[in-house]
């Protein structure tokens, strides 16, 4: 095989496996750097002497496979086919052996013997992998030389193995990847058809395989070389077996698994074992949901136990003190100015700001769950559960990926190709309990229900998800017609929380919340106050009361006064406005009584529960409605959604009030 | 093995990398390469690759599972029919 006494070697390998190091070790100073003919891709060649033989080493471009996906892959395979090197040295990264072997699976069918240099053995060892090169060699049927190129280990053995193969001193019987039996017959059929037309020096079986794989370069070449009638037959076979590419590539993966099975033992690293053990529970379709529900309950419990007293303190000392001071300061100011500052600003925005401690705790616990890697599991467990209930994964994944806010949930519906299914998914997206709604519930639940607040909040989330699920099942039946959908999720490893990250997260979210309180909520509080003051300076005869009373018949069905109905309506601008509005309408800026006391005195438990239910299911905030319009580009559908949610929320609210009232007595 | 992977996925539902690796008897890095191959062949696609643009200004983007570094894949129409 030697040409003019010179042995030509090709060095093949994936990027970053240490090809340059090995190339330099072998050739030393005898290198030449140029370009591959007609390309701007660098070509390095070099020479070295061993046992009186001169070797020429050509560094092939780094590639993961030898398909026609990139110019580098075409250069590498064309060099081996056309230049026929005496030996191809396949340099592999032992630490990612399976992945590296894919290239070997493609090299072996080419007309040049392969010697495997198994580099980075030290890294593999550090990662806990035990590779037995002799076992691998026996499985592959080609020489395997373990190496640590950076420490100059194994280089001499590699040269010796190359020399042996080049001079035919060792038997070379590589075990090649195979493809599935039914496609094997197809392969033979193609090979027989193209037999006399494959140009030299291409190996016929390889060309047939590449045709079956849909390789663009080889298909073009064969179309030009084959008579039309024969090509038509070949083409017809290829069209009938378009999916053969799965079996050709799949055959290589099967081969990899067979090759490494005996040669590699991989004791699992501590972190992976821990993640695996935890995930067996956290991602279980039933226990996963159970754990998720438990964790949510804990978050609420913690928020209420620690946050509610702090909120109370802020209410008494900060809002109360501010109200006292302003009251004294504005004693001689016109009544409307006093009202605006005391009832509008302090009552509205002040009330909203008092839940900062609640928010800090809520955000911190959620941030902790995110940071340790639990939230991805929550989405996963939820998805699996929804799927088991017969829901379509494609409509639920976007919803649950957008856990915190409805806007990304609506945007996420883009993963759904079908226009109809996408639209319907967008329609139910606002039922995902968003953070802002949770804030309102977090504030009101302890006021209305005291010790039972955790249970109520937990039940409200459950209710939201149940309504979502019922609508989702309907959508699955109507839009997807029971079609299957699937997702593959990578779940990051669990890790020790980074307190800095969590602190930063809490800070950013609190800042965003305060900004909202200072702008949108402030403006709305002032507007609500103005409408509740004029024309007569009395809430009961104000514009807002007149408007609210129009809605009182609906409110009466849920035991709610017009004030509560108005509070609900203002949540359309931002969910937290419900609280600001209550602050204004129930006179939280007034030093005589705190909002909490006034509220708990005005509503029956059944009405309070109905209010929270409606709040959870109500028309989403204006930002969500805008996103909906942007994504659907339809005013009709956007309006339909607003009406739908209005009907659903009031419907369920009325039902809850009536049933709770009946149960209560 | 690619066909087995595709068949497992087309039965529907949500699959984690760890489950698939266990069922197929391969390492996570090889599974990833198989998923990329199926993507190249047009059977799978990545979800949420255009998320960053939309979520850049959202104060809640941390609560989104997509942004947590885990890759999510879904079947394409071609992947659903298996042809």
Q: Which of A103-107, A345-349, A445-449, B73-77 has the highest mean pLDDT?
A: A103-107
| Cα–Cα distance measured from residue A540 to residue A532, given in angstroms and rounded to the nearest whole number | 8
Reduced to 3 states, what is the DSSP secondary structure of residue B74? strand
User: Which CATH number characterizes residue A236's domain?
Assistant: 1.10.287.1770
Q: Which of A129-138, A177-186, A480-489, B26-35 has the lowest mean pLDDT?
A: A480-489
Is residue A88 within 8 Å of A172, Cβ to Cβ? Answer: no
| Residues contacting residue A200 through CB under 8 Å, at least 6 positions apart | none
Other Cβ atoms within 10 Å of A124 Cβ, number: 22
pLDDT at B24 over 80: yes
Q: Quick check: is A273 in a domain?
A: no
Q: What percent of chain A has pLDDT over 90?
A: 27
The reply to whether A33 and A86 lie within a common domain is: yes
The DSSP symbol for A60 reads P
What is the average pLDDT score of chain B? 73
Q: Counting beta carbons within 10 angstroms of the beta carbon of residue A306, is it exposed (0 to 12), middle (13 to 18) or buried (19 or more)?
A: middle
Is residue A406 within 8 Å of A432, Cβ to Cβ? Answer: yes
Contact criterion met (CB < 8 Å) for A403 and B70: no
Q: Which of A293-297, B8-12, B56-60 has the lowest mean pLDDT?
A: B56-60
pLDDT at B9 over 60: yes
**pLDDT on residue A114:** 96
CA–CA min distance A573, chain B (Å): 17
User: Which CATH number characterizes residue A62's domain?
Assistant: 3.40.50.300
The reply to whether A380 and A455 lie within a common domain is: yes
Reduced to 3 states, what is the DSSP secondary structure of residue A89? strand
CA–CA min distance A420, chain B (Å): 15
CA–CA min distance B83, chain A (Å): 5
Find the domain containing A339 and state its range.
Answer: 287-664
Q: Quick check: is A278 in a domain?
A: no
User: What tokens were used for A278?
Assistant: 């935890």
The reply to whether A427 and A329 lie within a common domain is: yes
Beta-carbon pairs below 8 A across chains A and B: 181
The reply to whether A490 and A460 lie within a common domain is: yes
Q: Quick check: is A514 in a domain?
A: yes
Is residue B68 within 8 Å of B38, Cβ to Cβ? Answer: no
CA–CA min distance B39, chain A (Å): 11
C-alpha distances (whole Å) from A402 to each of A123, A209, A641 are: 39, 45, 19
**pLDDT on residue A272:** 65
Q: Quick check: is A70 in a domain?
A: yes
Is residue A630 within 8 Å of B54, Cβ to Cβ? Answer: no
pLDDT at B83 over 60: no
Is residue A657 within 8 Å of A558, Cβ to Cβ? Answer: yes
B46 touches chain A (CB under 8 A): no
What is the average pLDDT score of chain A? 83
**pLDDT on residue A370:** 77
**pLDDT on residue A381:** 78
Q: Quick check: is A276 in a domain?
A: no
Choose the final residue of a domain: A234, A265, A296: A265
Is residue A41 within 8 Å of A35, Cβ to Cβ? Answer: yes
The reply to whether A411 and A503 lie within a common domain is: yes
The shortest CB-CB distance from A408 to any of B37, B43, B54 is to B54
Contact criterion met (CB < 8 Å) for B64 and A69: no
The domains located in chain B, with CATH, are 2-81 (1.10.10)
C-alpha distances (whole Å) from A329 to each of A318, A323, A325, A342 are: 16, 10, 6, 11
The reply to whether A150 and A236 lie within a common domain is: no
Instruction: Work out the pLDDT band at A121, boundaries 50, 70, 90.
Output: very high
Instruction: Work out the pLDDT band at A554, boundaries 50, 70, 90.
Output: confident
pLDDT at A350 over 70: yes
For residues A362 and A87, the model is more confident at A87
Choose the final residue of a domain: A166, A199, A226: A166
For residues A275 and A615, the model is more confident at A615
User: What tokens were used for A30?
Assistant: 């005898």
The reply to whether A154 and A186 lie within a common domain is: no
Instruction: Calculate mean pLDDT across residues A411-435.
Output: 76
pLDDT at A489 over 90: no
User: What tokens were used for A19?
Assistant: 């090809």
Q: Quick check: is A473 in a domain?
A: yes
Q: Quick check: is A120 in a domain?
A: yes
The reply to whether A225 and A353 lie within a common domain is: no
| Cα–Cα distance measured from residue A535 to residue A237, given in angstroms and rounded to the nearest whole number | 84
User: What tokens were used for A283?
Assistant: 């991602």
Among B62, B67, B69, which would you mutate to test the A interface (most chain A Cβ atoms within 10 Å of its Cβ)?
B62
According to DSSP, the β-strands at A144-146 and A114-119 are: parallel
Residue where the block lists tokens 């309990």: A433
Could you give the number of structural domains in chain A? 3
Is residue A207 within 8 Å of A226, Cβ to Cβ? Answer: no
The reply to whether A220 and A304 lie within a common domain is: no
pLDDT at A413 over 50: yes
User: What tokens were used for A566?
Assistant: 């108005």
Q: Quick check: is A559 in a domain?
A: yes
Is residue A138 within 8 Å of A101, Cβ to Cβ? Answer: no
Choose the final residue of a domain: A136, A166, A196: A166
Instruction: Calculate mean pLDDT across residues A164-182.
Output: 87
CA–CA min distance B68, chain A (Å): 8
The reply to whether A253 and A398 lie within a common domain is: no
| Cα–Cα distance measured from residue A279 to residue A376, given in angstroms and rounded to the nearest whole number | 11
pLDDT at A25 over 70: yes
Q: Counting beta carbons within 10 angstroms of the beta carbon of residue A274, is it exposed (0 to 12), middle (13 to 18) or buried (19 or more)?
A: middle
Q: Which residues of B43-78 are buried (b: 16+ CB within 10 A; e: fewer)?
A: bbbebbeebeebbeebbbbbbbbbbbebbbbbbbeb
The reply to whether A309 and A387 lie within a common domain is: yes
Q: What residues does A43 pair with on adjacent strands?
A: A34
| Residues contacting residue A598 through CB under 8 Å, at least 6 positions apart | A586, A587, A588
Q: Which of A114-118, A289-293, A465-469, B45-49 has the highest mean pLDDT?
A: A114-118
pLDDT at A304 over 80: no
- Window 344-383 of A: residues touching B by CB (8 A cutoff) are 366-367, 370, 373, 375-376, 378-380, 383
pLDDT in tens, A174-191: 999 988 777 888 999 999
Instruction: Work out the pLDDT band at A390, boundaries 50, 70, 90.
Output: low
Contact criterion met (CB < 8 Å) for B70 and A376: yes
A517 touches chain B (CB under 8 A): no
| Cα–Cα distance measured from residue A394 to residue A387, given in angstroms and rounded to the nearest whole number | 10
**pLDDT on residue A203:** 92
- Chain B hits for A64, CB-CB cut-off 8 Å, are 33
- The DSSP-derived string for A199-214 is PTTS-HHHHHHHHHTT
The shortest CB-CB distance from A242 to any of B35, B72, B83 is to B83
Report chain A's terminal Cα–Cα distance, integer Å: 99
């Amino acid at each position: 095989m030697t040409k003019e006494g010179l042995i030509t070697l090709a060095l093949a390998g994936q990027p970053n496996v240490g090809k340059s190091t090995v190339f330099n070790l072998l050739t030393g100073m005898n290198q030449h750097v140029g370009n591959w003919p007609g390309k701007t891709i660098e070509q390095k060649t070099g020479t070295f002497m061993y046992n009186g033989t001169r070797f020429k080493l050509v560094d092939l471009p780094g590639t993961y496979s030898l398909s026609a996906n990139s110019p580098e892959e075409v250069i590498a395979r064309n060099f081996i086919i056309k230049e026929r090197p005496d030996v191809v040295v396949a340099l592999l990264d032992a630490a990612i052996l399976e992945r590296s072997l894919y290239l070997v699976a493609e090299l072996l069918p080419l007309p040049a013997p392969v010697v495997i240099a198994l580099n980075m053995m030290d890294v593999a060892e550090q990662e806990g992998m035990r590779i037995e090169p002799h076992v691998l060699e026996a499985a592959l049927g080609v020489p395997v030389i373990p190496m640590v190129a950076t420490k100059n280990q194994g280089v001499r053995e590699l040269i010796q193995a190359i020399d042996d193969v080049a001079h035919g001193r060792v038997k070379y019987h590589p075990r090649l990847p195979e493809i599935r039996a039914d496609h094997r017959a197809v392969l033979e059929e193609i090979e027989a058809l193209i037999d006399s037309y494959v140009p030299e020096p291409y190996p016929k079986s390889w060309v047939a395989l590449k045709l079956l794989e849909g390789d663009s370069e080889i298909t073009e070449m064969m179309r030009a070389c084959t008579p039309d009638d024969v090509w038509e037959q070949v083409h017809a076979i290829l069209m009938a077996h378009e999916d053969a590419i799965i079996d050709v590539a799949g055959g290589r993966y099967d081969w990899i698994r067979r090759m490494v099975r005996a040669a590699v033992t991989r004791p699992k690293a501590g972190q992976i074992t821990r993640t695996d053990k935890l995930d067996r529970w956290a991602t279980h379709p039933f226990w996963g949901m159970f754990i998720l529900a438990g964790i949510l309950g804990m978050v609420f419990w913690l928020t209420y136990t620690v946050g509610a007293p702090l909120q109370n303190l802020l209410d008494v000392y900060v809002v109360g003190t501010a109200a006292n001071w302003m009251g004294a300061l504005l004693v001689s100011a016109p009544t409307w100015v006093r009202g605006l500052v005391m009832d509008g600003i302090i009552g509205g925005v002040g009330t909203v700001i008092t839940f900062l401690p609640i928010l800090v705790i809520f955000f911190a616990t959620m941030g902790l769950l995110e940071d340790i890697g639990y939230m991805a599991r929550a989405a996963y467990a939820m998805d699996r559960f929804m799927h088991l209930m017969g829901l379509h994964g494609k409509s639920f994944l976007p919803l649950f990926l957008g856990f915190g806010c409805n806007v990304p949930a609506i945007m996420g519906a883009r993963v759904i190709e079908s226009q109809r299914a996408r639209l319907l998914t967008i329609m139910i997206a606002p039922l995902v309990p968003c953070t802002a709604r949770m804030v309102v519930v977090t504030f009101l639940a302890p006021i209305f229900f005291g010790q039972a607040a955790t249970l109520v909040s937990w039940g409200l989330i459950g209710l939201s998800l149940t309504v979502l699920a019922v609508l989702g099942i309907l959508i699955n039946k109507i839009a997807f017609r029971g079609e299957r959908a699937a997702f593959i999720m990578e779940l990051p490893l669990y890790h020790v929380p980074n307190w800095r990250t969590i602190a930063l997260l809490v800070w950013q979210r609190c800042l965003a919340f305060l900004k909202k309180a200072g702008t949108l909520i402030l403006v709305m509080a002032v507007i609500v106050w103005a409408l509740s003051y004029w024309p007569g300076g009395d809430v009961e005869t104000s514009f807002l009361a007149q408007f609210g009373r129009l809605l009182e018949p609906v409110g009466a069905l849920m035991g709610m006064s017009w004030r509560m109905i108005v509070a609900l309506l203002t949540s359309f601008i931002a969910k937290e406005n419900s609280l600001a509005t209550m602050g204004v309408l129930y006179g939280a800026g007034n030093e005589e009584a705190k909002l909490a006391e006034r509220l708990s005195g005005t509503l029956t438990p059944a009405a309070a529960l109905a209010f929270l239910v409606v709040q959870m299911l109500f028309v989403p905030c204006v930002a969500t409605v805008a996103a909906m319009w942007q994504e659907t580009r339809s005013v009709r559908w956007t309006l339909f959604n607003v009406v739908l949610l209005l009907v659903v929320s009031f419907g369920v609210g009325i039902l809850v009030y009536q049933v709770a009232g009946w149960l209560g007595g | 093995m690619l066909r087995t992977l595709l068949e497992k996925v087309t039965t529907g539902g949500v699959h984690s990398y760890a489950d698939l690796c266990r069922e197929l008897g391969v390492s996570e890095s090889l599974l990833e390469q198989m998923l990329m191959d199926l993507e190249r062949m047009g059977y799978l696609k990545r979800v949420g690759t255009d998320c960053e643009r939309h979520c850049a200004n959202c104060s809640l983007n941390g609560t989104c599972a997509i942004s947590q570094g885990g890759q999510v894949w879904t079947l394409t129409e071609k992947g659903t029919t298996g042809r």
